[in-house]
Amino acid sequence: MPDTLTPWEGELAVQTIAAVDLGTTSCRAEVFSLDGEPLGRHSVEYSVDTPVPGAAEQDAETWWQAACECLRGALQRAGAEGKDVLAVGFSCQGHSWVPTDAGFRPLRPAFTWLDQRAARQAQSLLDEAGAECWGALAGKTPGPWHMLPQILWMREHEHDVINRAQHLLFVQDFLIARLTGRPATDYTTAAATLFFDITSNAWDGATLDRYRIAMRSLPEVVASGTAVGTVTHDAAAATGLSTETVVVTGAQDQKCAAFGAGLAPGIATASLGTATAIEALMDRPAFDVNVPIPCFPYLQADTWVLEAAITPPAGRSTGSATRCGRSTRSSPTMSWQTLPPRARRVVTECCSSRISPAPAYPTCALMPRPDSRASPWPPERRTSPAPCSIFLRISAFRGWA
């Protein structure tokens, strides 16, 4: 177990920062000036492997290689060198994790959040303790995408692998460990395990003991924005960063998207990626067995979010549904007036309809965000061109407004 992490206190002499966004099917890195101006970006794509029914895996080395390639490419496009980068932070897909040896080398392909093989184990956990118990501790009911039931699945099917595991690392944890040699994670990421107490923001010792999970195998949990350390010589050579670059914890990607979109009391956000996640801000942990919307810690202190996810069929992406509309809206040759009547009707219905991810989930209404720039779209349908955030107003939240 690493020493307790404390904020970095080294001399800050460089002029840019870097960000890595490692999602389910692509990774990108971007270099920014200290004023937030984007200077260079690079991205790569990869796939989710489905070797057997129910499986959805990725090679964790692909995560590392993608992050390295994207950082090198972003630096090149920014015309920057590693010594120019003050710090690097992360936004990563949630729930996906990998067991590793002591040197942070994967022992098997990583489980992604799409993997369904631990469904029976998840149901057993629910039957064993009940939804109210899991909700009070973890803010959610067990699902096959959570780390705990997947560990139990491994004990049944890959006993030797889980017994050899020295570290259990989510995507962000894995990248930080490979960069610094110190495994660390943040509250939003750790909350996907089922053995993280979302009220105290700490690993729950009783649950770990009950299911025989060693505390030493888990990364230390710190707040988003905590400086962990600096890049090792080997990682600097692989990424193009400097050994002076500070590595900082980020958060699970949907929480980062909500933060960037301006999540606020009374306003929810929807992030459209491989899945769509609707986030609503809370001032306390909240869970109702009759409306089992998952609750997570948020990036800011003493705040939580409810997250209603819309997951697409395998091989599809809810975010891709926006690409046609986005490209049409930015087209110099196509306007609202030139759209065929059927297309106009679809856009109108989509922008004015109320959506509900599932019967038990919150009902939300699309709320156009004002845009002062000239636009070919009618004012009542005009929205911000930001591709990854649609602002929503909570119209009914079953008493949790």
CA distances for 186 relative to 5, 65, 73, angstroms? 12, 22, 27
Q: Specify the pTM.
A: 0.78
**Averaged confidence pLDDT in the chain:** 81
- CATH of region 16-249: 3.30.420.40
Give me the mean pLDDT over the 77-93 stretch: 95
What are the pLDDT digits (tens) for 153-179?
Answer: 999 999 999 999 999 999 999 999 999
Predicted pLDDT of residue 389? 27
* Residues 264-288, mean pLDDT to the nearest whole number: 86
- Which tokens hold the place of 258? 């909500």
User: Residue 353's pLDDT band (boundaries 50, 70, 90)?
Assistant: very low
Q: What is the reported pLDDT for 329? A: 52
Q: How far apart are alpha carbons 206 and 133 in whole angstroms? A: 13
Whole-angstrom distance, CA of residue 150 vs CA of residue 155: 9
309 confidence band (pLDDT: 50, 70, 90): confident
271 pLDDT tier (thresholds 50, 70, 90): confident
- Given a cut of 90, whether residue 312 has pLDDT beyond it is no
pLDDT in tens, 138-156: 999 999 999 999 999 999 9
Q: For position 372, what pLDDT does the model report?
A: 28
Using CA atoms of 35, 9, 196, 23 in order, give the dihedral in degrees to the nearest 10: 40
Shortest CA distance to 18 belongs to which of 68, 64, 93? 68
Q: Which amino acid is at 208?
A: L
Residue-range domain boundaries for the chain: 16-249, 255-396
Instruction: Sort residue 240 into left (φ over 0), alpha (ψ -120 to 50) or beta.
Output: left
| The pLDDT of residue 79 is above 60 | yes
Longest dimension (CA), the chain: 64
Whole-number pLDDT of residue 348: 52
The residues facing 281 across adjacent strands are 305
The least confident of 82-96, 207-221, 256-270 is 256-270
User: Which contacts of 321-325 are long-range, i.e. CB under 8 A and separated by 24 or more positions?
Assistant: 321/272, 322/272, 322/387
